[in-house]
A and B are shown apart, each in its own frame.
Chain A
Amino acid sequence: MNGLSLNEKVMLGTALLGGMAGVSGTFAVLRKRSLIGDMLAHTSLPGVCIAFMLIGSRNTLGLSLGALASGLVAIALMTLVIRWTRTKEDAAIGIMLSTFFGLGIVLLTNIQNDPAVGNKSGLDSYIFGEPGNMLTRDLVLLAIVAAVVISLVFALFKEFKLVAFDSDFALSQGWPITWLDYAMMACVACVTIIGLPIVGVILMAAMIILPAATARMWTNRLHTMVIIAGVLGVIAGVAGTQVGRNLPAGPVIVLMAASLFAVSLLFAPQRGILPRLWGEAQLRFRIAREHLLRSLYEINEPHLSISESVDAKPVRLETLREHRHWKPWLLSWLIDRAERNGLLYESDEAVTLTPLGVRKAAQVTRTHRMWELYMLEYAGVAASQADRAADNVEHMLPESLLMELEAKLKKQGRLPEGLEELPASPHPASLRQREGGPT
C-alpha cells in the first residue's frame, strides 16, 4: 500500500469512509436517530483533547479511542437525561452536543496555549477535517473499521432490520433491543469518529445522513437501501476528492452527496418530486377526460335509446361549456386527445362521439352512477374508500352488489345505454379497461 500516491490514498480513504457511513447511516436514519452522528461528532472533541494530552502526539488510533470514549459518555448521559428528567430528546441532544463541544474547545485552547506540548498539528483537523493528512496507517485503520462495521451489519442484519422497522414487535418477541440498539449506534459511532479527522465535525454528520436519506428515496427494501447507501457514499467520497482539487475536500464530498440527494429528490421513481407531479397530472387528466366523456354522454342521453342506433348526435361546444365549467385550454386539449384516440370527431364548433366513444362514455357514466348510488346507500363504507378514479368500481365492489346497483339504476331509468348494444367483449371483464383504447 506504500506504493500509492497521496491522491490515491485520499481517494481510497474517503471512498471507504463514504461507503461505511452510508451503510451504518441507513440504520440511524431509519431509527430516526439521524442527528446522533451530529452529536457524536461534536461530543468527541473533549476525548480527542484528553487523549492527546495523555499520548502527547497525534496518533489516529489513540485519538479515535479517546473520541469514542467521550462520545459514548455523552450518549449514556443523554439516555439518562431523557429517562430521568423532563428534558426531551431534542434538547438532550443539544445540551450534550454543545456542552461537550464547549469543553473540547476549552481543552483545545489550553493545549494550544501550552508551549510545553509538542507536535499538536492536526488537532484542528478534528473540527474541520483534512483528508490531505491521510497516512498509510490511517488507511489501514479505516479498512479495518470498515470491515468490522460491514461484517457486523451483515451478521446482525435480520435483527437490525426488525429493530429499525418495528422495535416494539422486536421487544415483544424477546429480542434484546437495547443491546441491538447499542450495536447499531456503536457502528455509527465508530464510523463517525474514524471519519472526523477526514471531513470534520459537521460534514461527518452529513455523511451519516445524506447517503442513507438518498437511498431511502429509491427503495423500500432494507438490503437494497444499505447497498445503495454504501455505493452512494463511495461515489460521494471519490467524486468529492477528485472534483474540487483546490477546494477543501470535506465540504466538497458533502456537496457531492447533497447533489446526489437533490437528484434523487427530483427523479426517484416513487418518492421523487417529478414522478409524483407527473402522476398527479396524469390522474388529473384522466379525471378531466372522464368528465368530458360523461358530459357528452349526458347531453346525448335523451337521444339514445335501446331500440335505435347508438350513434351520438353532434354536441356544440357552447352546450358543453354550459353543461360544466372547463378551463378553455384544458377542454381543447382534451378534445384533441380524444379525437386522436378515435373517441370523437370535431367539426365546426361541435363534437360528435364515435361508436367507440359512446361505449367508453357509457362505461364511464355507468361507473360514476353506480359509485354515486353506492355512496348514497352504503356511505358508511364508502367514506373510507379510495378516490373514485383510482380504480373502477368493478374492481372495488363485489359482483352481487354491482348487480343490485345496476338493477336499481335500471329502475330509475339511469342505466347508461349503448353498452348492451355492442357485441360482448371477447376478453374477460378484468381486461375490458385496457382494451378500451389508450388512456
Chain B
Amino acid sequence: MSALLLASDLWNADGLWIITIGALTNAACALVGCFLILRRMSMMGDALSHSVLAGLAVAFAFTQSYSIIPLFIGAVAAGLLTTFLTQTLHQYARVPSDASMGVVFTSMFAVGVVIIKMFVSDGVHFDAACVYEGALGYSPFFTREVFGWEIPLAALTVGPIAILNLVVIVALWKEWKLSSFDPALATTMGFSATLLHYLLMTLVALTTVASFEAVGSILVVAMLIVPAATAHQLTDRLGPMVLVSVVIAVLSAVFGYIFAVWEDTNYAAMMAVVAGGFYALSVVFSPRYGLLTTLWKNTQLSLRVVKEDLLAMLYRVEEIGTASPLTTTAAREAVGGGWLAYAGIWQLTRRGRISQANDALKLTEFGREAAKKLVRSHRLWETYLVEYLGLPLDHIHEPAHRVEHFIGDEIREKLEEKLDASQGDPHGRDIPE
C-alpha cells in the first residue's frame, strides 16, 4: 500500500495483461449491455450468465476436453434455450415473466452443477468458485504463441468476441436502434424484432461464456448492466450511450485492477465494485438526470415561486392601501417561512425589486411592474376559469395561485384576446395593466 508497491507491482507485464483482458471483457459486455438496458431485459443477462453453465457442462461432459468450439456451441444453445423457455412459459403457461425467467435459469444452473459433479472427473479444472468469481489473476499464466507473441488464452477468447459484438452492432446499427425503441414499428418495416432479439441473446450468451473464465458469472452481470446503466444516466442518444458505456467499462477495468492490487484482493470483483462506484457517481452528478441537478432545479423553482408570491402579495397590500406596511417577518411567514423565504427576500432586495426600511417591505418601481404582470396573470386566469369553465367563485383562487407562475407572455396575450380585462376579475377587483 505504499508508493513503492504502486511502482513495481502494479505496472508489470502480467498486470497489463490483466487490465487488457478485463477491459476487453468489460467492453464486450457493455456493448451488448446497452441494448439489454434499453429493452428492459437486464435480468436476462443474469439469467443467461447462470444458465449457460448447463450448456458448458453438457459440452464438457461429452467431449471431456477444453476445446473451445463445443463449449461455445453448448453455451449458445443453453442461452437460446433459456430465452425460448422463458418466453414460452410466459406466453403459453401464463407464468409471470419474471417468475418464468427465475424458474428457467435457476433450474438450468442446478442441472449444470449436477452434471459437473456427476460426469466431470475430479481434478479437472472446473472449479465452481471460478463460475462465480472468475480467475482473472491467473489468466496471464495460460498463454499461447501467436506470431511469436505470448498471448494469454483469455485474451484470445474474449478479444474476438469483443470484435464480433462491435461488428454486429455497427453493421445492424439502424435495426438495433429501431427495434430497441419501437419493436412494433421495426416489425412493420420488415426486419423481425424477434430475430434481432435472438441475435442479441446469442451475443449475450457468447459474451458470457467468453468472459466466464476471466470474470465469473456474477461479474459478467455487473459488466453487462452497470456501465450501460451509467451511460444511460448520462446521455439520451444511443451512439453516445454505447461509447460512454465502453469507456466506463474500460475505466472500471483499469481502476479495478489498481484498487485490487492495493487491497490484495480479487481483480474481477473489484472491477465490479468500481463499476458500481461509477454508477453511484452518475446517479448523483449526472448533468441532466443526476440527483444534484434535480435538487438544484427543484430549489430554483421553489425559490422563484416564493419570490413571485412575495411580489404579488406586496402588490395586493398596496392595492388595498392599508396604513400599516407589511413587515418582513409577516411576509416571510406568509410565503411559508424557512430559508427559502430569507433567500427570496434577499434576492429581491439585491435585484432592486423591493426595498426594506424599518422592518417593512415595499415594492420598488421596477418590482411593481413585475408584480403587476403576475397579478394580471392571476386575475385573467380566474376570469377564464369562471367564464369558460364555469367554476364557482370560491374554487378559482387556488388554481390561479398555482398557475400564475407558469403563464408566459404568449398565454397572457391569448387570454387578453379572449377576455375583457377592463371588467375586472370575478371577485370585482381591477385587473392591472
Closest chain-B Cβ to A115's Cβ sits at a distance in Å of 12
B103 at interface, CB cutoff 8 A: yes
B269 at interface, CB cutoff 8 A: yes
A93 at interface, CB cutoff 8 A: yes
A399 at interface, CB cutoff 8 A: no
Known contacts being A84-B294, A247-B117, is A205 close to B264, with CB within 8 Å? no
A34 touches B42 (CB 8 A): no
A313 at interface, CB cutoff 8 A: no
A209 at interface, CB cutoff 8 A: yes
* A265: B residues at CB distance < 8 A: 89, 93
* B43: A residues at CB distance < 8 A: 35, 90, 93-94
CA of A252 to CA of B103, assembled, Å: 15
Of residues 189 to 226 in A, which have CB atoms within 8 Å of B's CB atoms? 202-203, 205-206, 208-210, 212-213, 216-217
Q: Which of B41, B101, B218 makes the CB contact (< 8 A) with A102?
A: B218
CA of A208 to CA of B270, assembled, Å: 29
B276 touches A97 (CB 8 A): no
A81 at interface, CB cutoff 8 A: yes
Known contacts being A94-B221, A106-B263, A206-B110, is A271 close to B102, with CB within 8 Å? no
B386 at interface, CB cutoff 8 A: no
Quick check: which of B144-152, B226-234, B356-364 contacts chain A, the rest being far away? B226-234
Q: Which of B40, B100, B114 makes the CB contact (< 8 A) with A88?
A: B40
A293 at interface, CB cutoff 8 A: no
CA of A213 to CA of B94, assembled, Å: 10
A85 touches B95 (CB 8 A): no
A202 touches B109 (CB 8 A): yes
* A42: B residues at CB distance < 8 A: 218
* B232: A residues at CB distance < 8 A: 86-87, 91
CA of A103 to CA of B266, assembled, Å: 10
Known contacts being A85-B283, A101-B218, A103-B269, is A91 close to B46, with CB within 8 Å? no
B132 touches A127 (CB 8 A): yes
Q: In this complex, what residue of A is CB-closest to B225?
A: A94
CA of A271 to CA of B92, assembled, Å: 9
CA of A427 to CA of B260, assembled, Å: 85
A269 at interface, CB cutoff 8 A: no
Which residue, of A84, A106, A110, has the highest number of chain B Cβ atoms within 10 A? A106
Closest chain-B Cβ to A36's Cβ sits at a distance in Å of 9
Q: Which of A35, A247, A255 makes the CB contact (< 8 A) with B107?
A: A255
A34 touches B226 (CB 8 A): no
B308 at interface, CB cutoff 8 A: no
Q: In this complex, what residue of A is CB-closest to B89?
A: A265
B218 touches A113 (CB 8 A): no
* B114: A residues at CB distance < 8 A: 244, 247-248, 251-252, 255
* A205: B residues at CB distance < 8 A: 102, 106
A99 touches B93 (CB 8 A): no
Q: How large is the interface on A (under 10, 10 to 19, 20 to 34, 35 or more residues)?
A: 35 or more
B411 at interface, CB cutoff 8 A: no
B189 at interface, CB cutoff 8 A: no
Closest chain-B Cβ to A3's Cβ sits at a distance in Å of 31
A29 at interface, CB cutoff 8 A: yes
B107 touches A254 (CB 8 A): yes
Which residue, of B43, B103, B221, B263, has the highest number of chain A Cβ atoms within 10 A? B103
A258 at interface, CB cutoff 8 A: yes
Q: Which of A103, A213, A248 makes the CB contact (< 8 A) with B117?
A: A248
A170 at interface, CB cutoff 8 A: no
B266 touches A106 (CB 8 A): yes
B275 at interface, CB cutoff 8 A: yes
* B218: A residues at CB distance < 8 A: 42, 97-98, 101-102, 105
* B219: A residues at CB distance < 8 A: 98, 101-102, 105
A128 at interface, CB cutoff 8 A: yes
A85 touches B107 (CB 8 A): no
B50 at interface, CB cutoff 8 A: yes
A261 at interface, CB cutoff 8 A: yes
CA of A255 to CA of B109, assembled, Å: 10
Closest chain-A Cβ to B134's Cβ sits at a distance in Å of 9
CA of A148 to CA of B300, assembled, Å: 49
A408 at interface, CB cutoff 8 A: no
A91 touches B37 (CB 8 A): yes
CA of A101 to CA of B223, assembled, Å: 13
Q: Which of B102, B263, B266 makes the CB contact (< 8 A) with A38?
A: B102
A95 at interface, CB cutoff 8 A: yes
CA of A188 to CA of B294, assembled, Å: 34
B92 touches A273 (CB 8 A): yes
Q: Which of B102, B221, B260 makes the CB contact (< 8 A) with A206?
A: B102
CA of A273 to CA of B94, assembled, Å: 11
A109 at interface, CB cutoff 8 A: yes
Known contacts being A85-B289, A99-B222, A128-B128, is A91 close to B276, with CB within 8 Å? no
Known contacts being A247-B117, A255-B107, A261-B103, is A38 close to B269, with CB within 8 Å? no
Q: Which of B92, B94, B107, B222 makes the CB contact (< 8 A) with A98?
A: B222
* A124: B residues at CB distance < 8 A: 129
Closest chain-A Cβ to B418's Cβ sits at a distance in Å of 38
B393 at interface, CB cutoff 8 A: no
Q: Which of A99, A105, A258 makes the CB contact (< 8 A) with B276?
A: A99
A323 at interface, CB cutoff 8 A: no
Closest chain-A Cβ to B185's Cβ sits at a distance in Å of 21
Q: Which of B50, B225, B273 makes the CB contact (< 8 A) with A202?
A: B50
* B37: A residues at CB distance < 8 A: 88, 91
Of residues 342 to 370 in A, which have CB atoms within 8 Å of B's CB atoms? none
A303 at interface, CB cutoff 8 A: no
* A255: B residues at CB distance < 8 A: 107, 110-111, 114
A101 touches B93 (CB 8 A): no
B117 touches A98 (CB 8 A): no
A248 touches B93 (CB 8 A): no
Of residues 64 to 115 in A, which have CB atoms within 8 Å of B's CB atoms? 81, 84-88, 90-91, 93-95, 97-106, 108-110, 113
A33 at interface, CB cutoff 8 A: yes
A155-183 to B contact mask, C-beta < 8 Å, 1/0: 00000000000000000000000000000
Of residues 43 to 81 in B, which have CB atoms within 8 Å of A's CB atoms? 43, 45-46, 50
Closest chain-B Cβ to A319's Cβ sits at a distance in Å of 40
Closest chain-B Cβ to A200's Cβ sits at a distance in Å of 9
CA of A176 to CA of B133, assembled, Å: 41
* Pairs across A and B, CB under 8 Å, 28 listed: A29-B99, A35-B43, A35-B101, A85-B233, A94-B42, A97-B46, A98-B46, A102-B268, A104-B269, A105-B269, A109-B269, A110-B264, A113-B265, A205-B106, A206-B102, A210-B106, A213-B99, A213-B100, A213-B102, A216-B95, A217-B93, A248-B117, A251-B111, A251-B113, A255-B107, A258-B103, A265-B93, A271-B94
Q: Beyond the given A87-B233, A97-B46, could you list 20 further A-B residue pairs with CB under 8 A, ordered by the A residue number? A: A32-B99, A34-B99, A35-B43, A35-B46, A81-B283, A85-B233, A88-B37, A90-B42, A95-B222, A95-B279, A98-B218, A98-B221, A98-B276, A206-B109, A210-B107, A248-B114, A248-B117, A252-B114, A254-B106, A265-B89
